[in-house]
Structure 1
Amino acid sequence: MTTRRKFLASAGVGAVGASLAAPAIASGKITWKMQTYAGAALAEHVITPAIDMFNKIAGDRMEIELYYADQLVPTGELFRAMQNGTIDAVQSDDDSMASPTELSVFGGYFPFASRYSLDVPVLFNQYGLNEIWDEEYSAVGVKHISAGAWDPCHFATKDPIRSLADLQGKRVFTFPTAGRFLEQFGVVPVTLPWEDIEVAVQTGELDGIAWSGITEDYTVGWADVTNYFLTNNISGAWAGSFFTNLDRWNELPEDLQTLFRVCTDQSHYYRQWWYWGGEASLRVNGPKMELTSIPDEEWATVEGAAVKFWDEIAAESDLKARVVEIIKQYNADMVKAGRPYRYG
């Protein structure tokens, strides 16, 4: 694991002050520090191409220095660090970065809110979630740039899961909200630094992972330490966003703001096809994990429990109720629309 102590030690004393300072403007060049939730191997796909593109086009006007999971601050401290200006921008879901807003519960994998990756951008861009996110984050000094989809959420485990009973007592690394939902089926959620997960599975500290789809399992090495992949998922797509410190955002010239938006949109597009194609290809051709399934009639119990979970969340506040109502309306519309939106 790359800890803050190791990172700062390797950076050198002189670099430490610079690393954790407010953005530098030297010779007119704007420099931002940005941290992603992703480790290095995953970041090569989910963010590095977009930031490389930004830096190339921005040239000598602006540079974004990209850091990976836990390099500058632990993932759970990302929001606070961005809010106070220690870092300038973040790529994460609301849940993982411990957003203090009421929206945190909807980040990452809100159970069964989506079936396909395209559901996420439609919810934000056509069903009103963008406006809610912008309002809530602006109120706490953060600019929500845009949301996009990642992969679906599946179990990767050491032992096979072929029924709900097989989930009992399984110690699983997952997102906070997903863990809260899965506890009713006997899952024991475990919180660890992202970079520690592979070793934790090897040592038996974890029985499995419910953090990603199969593409990510192969990309980051989890397929090397787990034996089975459960085809049932608890959400069709991870919902994550790009955020910036609001003051830093307002300081940017309009054309650099536009360039940042364009590059984040390119990141969202890249992930759409990279994950969508990878999930299918690795299920068919991947040699490392055996596929298992829980029968549809049994899995319907989990889907039914998700709707009850939505109502529990909605009862917590008017804002959460507003978001849940949008999710319900969207899914009802998709069912009415029929193929290819919802069927089976």
Structure 2
Amino acid sequence: MTNNTDDTSKMSPSERILATRRKFLASAGLAAPAALATPAIVRAQAPIRWRLQTYAGPSLGEHVIKRQVDAFNAAANGEMEIELYYADQLVPTSELFRALQNGTLDAIQSDEATMAAPVDISVFGGYFPFASRFSPDVGAMFMYYGLDEIWKEAYADIENVTYLSTGAWDPLHIFTVNKPIRSLADLNGLRVFGVPTAGRFLSRYGLIPVTVPWDDVEVALRTGDLDGVAWCGFTEMYAMGWADICKYALANSITGAWFGSYYVNTQSWEKVPPHLQQLYRSTIDQSHYYRLIWYWGGEAKLRVEGEKMELTEIPSQEWAQVVKDAQSFWDEVAQESPRAARVVEIFKKYASDMEKAGYPYR
């Protein structure tokens, strides 16, 4: 007789999916950092201490940043320690950039649009409508098409902030509490919490973007102050518990992945020795990889097997108008600065190349 200590028979479909992914990531060595064996060294000075704040709350932060910080702290062997803070714990998310620049924070994880970074590419951070179809698109555009150079160039103009890296998060969908979306007309008047650029685009269909502190979203959904969220994909809805409140999920995706980035205070960064700088960059890459699996695997399975939300869809003919409108939105944004125009040209070039490449790219 076998003793099954990992019985999933009594779990709901979504609970089984999440448990399976946790088990896979643990077996792959991704679920939690392992301490690295290093020789004991007597140190003559105190360790470097950093404060890092993420845009994410605790339940989401466990997946998008905590593993990276834990891995770094373990591997730094006492030479450096990062204290992690979640959304709004030290400063409001809207003030993340200012707090980083003035040294209140040593490092942050966010996107430009959410934290109102004073760079002329801020509109592209987070969710830029239809900039990507799949999460690997983000890394490909940064590595092969020149977005990384443009981001570095933009932050070189900003005093005391250094940009390090951008990765992909989840796709953007609209989730609603009581009002199903089955046509563009159903967007009219919906009060939705979301990221700035996507909200700006969707407002042309009557959607009303609403900004509240991250910790207040659940209460606002329950009290009816919010009709829904346009802030994430299915994986985050389940992870954060918002899927327990929202009854409907719009299957049409506004874009394929969130552009999320890592930044450091320049003075703090320059005090870190090269080997620890490299360690920090390496754990960022580790975080990018973990998230790619966590989101990519979770999104599909939760759409198919998740039982908490009913999927709705805007008909393809209507949705084609949204895609067409996005092109005019791109051209509108391109007029904002020469650098913005260069980003839009990369989006267009990349989309064209992917269409020509065909399956499995498009």
Q: Report the Cα offset of residue 26 of structure 1.
A: 9.5
* 2:172 maps to amino acid: C
Output the CA distance in 2 between the equivalents of 1:26 and 1:292.
62
Deviation at 1:258, TM superposition (A): 0.4
Whole-Å Cα distance in 2 between the matches of residues 55 and 211 of structure 1? 30
- Does the alignment pair 1:166 with 2:186? yes
Residue 148 in structure 1 maps to residue 173 in structure 2: no
Alpha-carbon contact 1:229-1:291 (below 8 Å) kept: yes
Mapping 1:210-225, distance limit 5 Å: 210-225=230-245
Structure 1: how far apart are the matches of 2:341 and 2:44?
47
> Which runs of 5 or more residues in structure 1 are unaligned?
1-24
In structure 1, what residue type is equivalent to 2:46? G
Identify which of 68, 76, 82 aligns with 2:100.
82
The yes-or-no answer on 1:134 pairing with 2:149 is no
Match for residue 99 of structure 1?
Answer: 117
Please name the residue that 1:12 is paired with. none
- Among residues 262, 266, 275, which one is paired with 1:242 in the alignment? 262
Mapped pair 1:67 → 2:85: yes
Alpha-carbon separation, structure 1, partners of 2:258 and 2:338: 24
Aligned mates of 2:246, 2:125 — CA distance in 1: 26
Q: In the alignment, is residue 280 of structure 1 matched against residue 309 of structure 2?
A: no
Q: Alpha-carbon deviation of 1:27?
A: 3.1
User: 1:138: Cα distance to partner?
Assistant: 2.5
Q: Deviations over 1:154-181 (max 9, x none)?
A: 0110211111111111011111111110
Provide the rounded CA distance (Å) in 2 between the counterparts of 1:129 and 1:284.
Answer: 33
Query: In the alignment, what sits opposite 1:111?
Result: 129
SS of the aligned residue for 1:321 comes to helix
How well do the aligned residues superpose, as a CA RMSD in angstroms? Answer: 1.2
- Runs of 4+ aligned structure 1 residues displaced above 2 Å come to 25-28
Q: Secondary structure at the match of 1:47?
A: helix
Give the share of equivalent positions with the same residue, in percent. Answer: 61
Aligned to 2:82, the other structure's residue is in SS state: strand
Counterpart residue number, 2:37: none
Under a length normalisation based on structure 1, what TM-score does the superposition of the two structures give? 0.91
TM-score by length of 2: 0.86
Counterpart Cα distance in 2 of 1:82 and 1:135: 18
Q: Within 2, Cα distance between the matches of 1:269 and 1:138?
A: 27
CA distance in 2 between counterparts of 1:86 and 1:50 reads 21
Match of 1:242, SS? strand
Partner residue of 2:52? 34
Which residues of structure 2 form unaligned runs of 5+?
1-42
Task: Determine the structure 2 residue equivalent to 1:323.
Answer: 343
Q: Is the CA contact (8 Å cut-off) linking 1:32 and 1:64 kept in structure 2?
A: yes
Secondary structure, in 3 states, of the residue corresponding to 1:298? helix
Q: Which has the larger radius of gyration?
A: 2
In the TM superposition, what is the alpha-carbon distance from 1:139 to its structure 2 partner?
Answer: 2.1
Contact 1:134/1:144 (<8 A) preserved: yes
Q: What is the aligned counterpart of 1:252 among 261, 272, 284? A: 272
Larger displacement relative to structure 2 (281-290 or 253-262): 281-290
